[in-house]
Chain A
């Protein structure tokens, strides 16, 4: 089975975000980017499938070299057979533009399966995985938490809520949005990432920056006031502990 995994860089979810001067976007000058956590799960699921049935895993990354190369090399160190970076200086792209670039690259690849993270935190105009499925006119299942290979098809487990899941058989080629891999994404030693960097495993693919096509324009962004609704407790941890014990007592607890 030849599998493509779509990797995106997103603003680090644990970092404090700042806005640009005219408050229409994040201030991206000092923003830290990390691999979209759901894409990391998509990669893990792809590697597990490859271990089970053979084939190849190719990772496709979008973004500047700074943001993406480390993620692509890490994927190679974990077991991906090839890595492609689409473009080199594209700047922030909306989900439709990302999907359009991925669709072009995927058409060249002849993949049996495309895995993408179920969502990314900046996908204002839709989930890239499902837009790719629409662009390639391929069957899709999203919010997938497990896959099991079967003859010419794949059994996938889709999650609803409260632990309720549904199984589907999906004919290949297909696109899956991965919510969580069967196991936590594997770690890889830094030495192996360095090895991957020294190999010629990364291919750069020239693409033209796409014109925005989502039909959406962000006119203003804001960071909602912290504690809009909450009474914020002031002071150090001792003061906070005193106050929380009072709150618990008032709620009939503790």
Chain B
């Protein structure tokens, strides 16, 4: 069996997702191939642990990630090499690549993948409905593209390995005249609070219901000497600044205590906080997936709980 992994990298290093996919590929068995697409990246590619073969497409047009260019190159590599299993991270880069690759190769596409079984027929387990439901999926044929959720395998399993054979190939597609061109990368401006440096975080989600209710959560945070953080819906509403966002498109945090109030726990959020030392979750929905990752949970109304907690802490 052959696996082809999209090796995601940004600003000169591979992302955790890349190592996780390599670990997952190794678990599936067979030959593990990684595609590293960029410019001046042969050295970086040489450091990639865990792959048997590292296919490098090095072209100045691919110096920065290009949603069109990277997708077309990876899709063409997958079409040429006909791996049985194509692994793409379910991330900002992977999302551009997955559909293009499946479509170009005429392969089924499996999204939100958390587990793949390839002994006998090809099967997967996926997380749907913001992580609330696990689905077992049978796949037609013996080849597919998988967009894999973070955490499907441990990155550390593959990080330290020696590198495989590097194979430098010319771009399999014409990269002149791309309709998408890179115009620059921007780092976030530092805000007043660095939520990655806090011992205690009080994090609020959709359950906080309104901007006015943030005051109550802030009061609790103050009583705890904690900072206020939030899940994506709160940030998208503009109720808290972007630098308070925990999760896949926000920040990864590892506080001593993470108190999650009214956060259901979509996979994108859990990715950002699952390594906190102690996670306490409060949600009115007993099915909330946050309880799957929390150390302690209480099912109930956060607005009943907050004043009781503030009382005891003050």
Contact of B249 among A131, A179, A226, A228 (CB under 8 A): A179
Identify which of B100, B235, B281, B313 contacts A254 (C-beta below 8 A): B313
Binary interface profile of A, 204-226, with partner B (CB < 8 Å = 1, else 0)?
A: 00000000001111111111111
List residues 136-171 of chain A with CB under 8 A from any CB of chain B: 139-143, 155, 157-171
A123 to chain B, nearest CB (A): 6
A171 to B179, Cβ gap below 8 A?
A: yes
Instruction: Indicate if the CB atoms of A245 and B309 lie closer than 8 Å.
Output: yes
A250 to B144, CA, bound (A): 48
- B110-164 at interface with A (beta carbon < 8 Å): 110-112, 126, 128-130, 132-141, 144, 147
Q: Which of A61-69, A80-88, A105-113, A232-240 contacts B (4 or more CB under 8 A)?
A: A232-240
Would you call B264 and A169 a contact (CB within 8 A)? no
Whether the Cβ atoms of B183 and A227 lie closer than 8 Å is no
Pairwise interchain contact A214-B135, C-beta atoms closer than 8 A: no
Q: In the docked arrangement, what's the CA distance between A119 and B248, Å?
A: 14
> Quick one: given A163-B243, A220-B135, are A240 and B294 in contact (CB under 8 Å)?
no
Instruction: List residues of chain B with CB within 8 A of the CB of A247.
Output: 278, 280, 296
Cβ-based interface call for A190 (8 A): no
Complex: how many Å from CA A96 to CA B10?
30
Please report the C-alpha to C-alpha distance between residue A232 and residue B181 in the assembled complex, in whole angstroms: 51
Specify the main secondary structure of chain B where it touches its partner: mixed
A220 → chain B closest CB, angstroms: 4
Q: In the complex, are the beta carbons of A229 and B292 less than 8 A apart?
A: yes
Q: Does A121 contact B (CB under 8 A)?
A: yes
Partner of A232, one of B109, B111, B297: B297
Would A37 and B300 count as touching, CB distance under 8 A?
no
B257 touches A124 (CB 8 A): no
User: In chain A, residues 93-135, which have Cβ atoms closer than 8 Å to a Cβ of chain B?
Assistant: 95-96, 118-119, 121-127, 130-131, 133-135
Q: B108 near A: Cβ within 8 Å?
A: yes
Total contacting residues, chain B, CB less than 8 A: 103
Q: Are A166 and B64 in contact (CB under 8 A)?
A: yes
Q: Residues of A contacting B292 with CB < 8 Å?
A: 224-230
Complex Cα–Cα for A167 and B180 (A): 10
Known: A220-B135, A221-B136, A230-B297. A127 touches B186 (CB 8 A): no
B27 contacts chain A at the CB level, 8 A cutoff: no
Proximity bits, A1-34, B CB within 8 Å = 1, else 0 = 0000000000101101100000000100000000
B185 contacts A by Cβ under 8 Å: yes
Contact pattern, B 63-102, Cβ under 8 Å of A = 1, otherwise 0? 0111110010000000000000000000111011011101
A126 to B232, CA, bound (A): 21
Across the interface, which residues of B come within 8 angstroms of A96, CB to CB?
A: 109
Contact B103 A134 (CB under 8 A): yes
Q: How far is the CA of A245 from the CA of B287 in the complex (A)?
A: 24
Report A-chain residues with C-beta under 8 Å of the C-beta of B249: 143, 159-161, 179
- Asked if B139 and A215 sit within 8 Å, CB to CB, the answer is yes
| Cβ contact of A251, chosen from B65, B188, B257, cutoff 8 A | B257
Q: Is the CB of A17 within 8 A of B108?
A: no
Check if B295 sits within 8 Å of A140, measured CB to CB. Answer: no
Chain B positions near chain A (C-beta within 8 angstroms): 10, 64-68, 71, 91-93, 95-96, 98-100, 102-104, 107-112, 126, 128-130, 132-141, 144, 147, 178-188, 199-200, 206, 224-225, 232-233, 235-238, 242-243, 245, 248-252, 256-257, 259, 264, 277-282, 285-289, 291-301, 304-305, 308-309, 311-313
> Residues on A close to B: CB < 8 A?
11, 13-14, 16-17, 26, 37, 41, 95-96, 118-119, 121-127, 130-131, 133-135, 139-143, 155, 157-171, 174, 177, 179-180, 183-184, 214-233, 236-238, 240-245, 247-248, 251-254
